Amino acid sequence: MKKPIILVNYKTYETSYGKRGLELAKTLERVSIDTSTEIIIAVPATMITRISQEVSIPVYAQHVDGLPEGAHTGAVLPEHIKDAGARGSLLNHSERRVRLDEMDDALKRMKKLGLESVVCVDRYELVVPMGLLYPTAILIEPPELIGSGVSVSKAKPEVITNAVKEIRKVEGVYLIAGAGISSGEDVFISIKLGSDGIGVASAVMKAKDPKKVVESFVLEALKAIDQK
Ligand SMILES: O=C(CO)COP(=O)(O)O
């Protein structure tokens, strides 16, 4: 059975850093182990070292700059995140867009370093163009639904279906869907529509009981995969 991808983007929520960021990582690691599912966490750059030393689940950066080593004040390079213990990075999130040439530079460097990459797109028409840069996965998220609590699965299922059709034209790249994912049902629908998993932020980062939320996501994801 193929495993669903559950990617939790910490963003900069107040639970994303310090002790709380670390505790959340440990909680998600527990769920991951208990359910034998891969849960990826994309954490603030400053938390990569601390979290990756303490948990076994994949830790990603939320952004990297494809710049060469040298005089680039404030840049976070693929080499930096690898050295800090990251397994990969998000790229081109709607909240952190990147020029296409910069993305190509970053992806080439990441590949050389053996880092995974999840490239975000805001529309299905970009799945093939971005897919042809061969990241590990494409994460499709309609920006207007991000943080809204209204899921792409329910509000715009056609975005997922179209993206799934498109990704089939590019071999070896996974397709994840996100934006507004709030319930196990949202996760179930997304995977039933053909995605390989989901990306989520607010429903986990703002939850009183993130364990419960992620457990329900994983359970429904497994159910959907089982029925495929
Ligand atoms: O941007 C997202 C994940 O990268 C999705 O955010 P929300 O889950 O808050 O809609």
User: What confidence tens digit (pLDDT) does each residue in 33-52 have?
Assistant: 999 999 999 999 999 999 99
SS3 of 27, please? helix
Task: Kindly state the tokens that stand for 28.
Answer: 């998600």
Topology (CATH) of 5-227: TIM Barrel (3.20.20)
Q: What is the pTM of this model?
A: 0.98
At 91 the pLDDT is 98
Can 72 be counted among the known catalytic residues?
Answer: no
pLDDT in tens, 205-221: 999 999 999 999 999 99
- Ranges of the chain whose pLDDT falls below 50: none
Return the best residue to mutate from 141, 148, 182 for the ligand 1 pocket (most ligand atoms within 8 A of CB): 141
- pLDDT score recorded for residue 1: 54
| Domain regions of the chain by residue span | 5-227
Tokens of 112: 């050389």
24 by Cβ neighbours in 10 Å (0-12 / 13-18 / 19+) ranks as buried
Within 10 Å of residue 95's Cβ, how many Cβ atoms?
Answer: 16
Catalytic-labelled residue, pool 93, 166, 215, 220: 93
153 CB-side CA count, 13 A: 25
CA of 198 relative to ligand 1 center, distance in Å: 10
Write down the pLDDT at residue 132: 97
Counting from 1 in the atom list of ligand 1, the atom nearest the Cα of 179 is: 10
Rounded Cα–Cα distance for residues 160 and 101 (Å): 26
Closest ligand 1 atom, residue 201 Cα: 8
Q: How far is the CA of 108 from the centre of ligand 1 (A)?
A: 26
Q: 199, 220 in Cβ contact below 8 A?
A: no
How high is the pLDDT of residue 199? 98
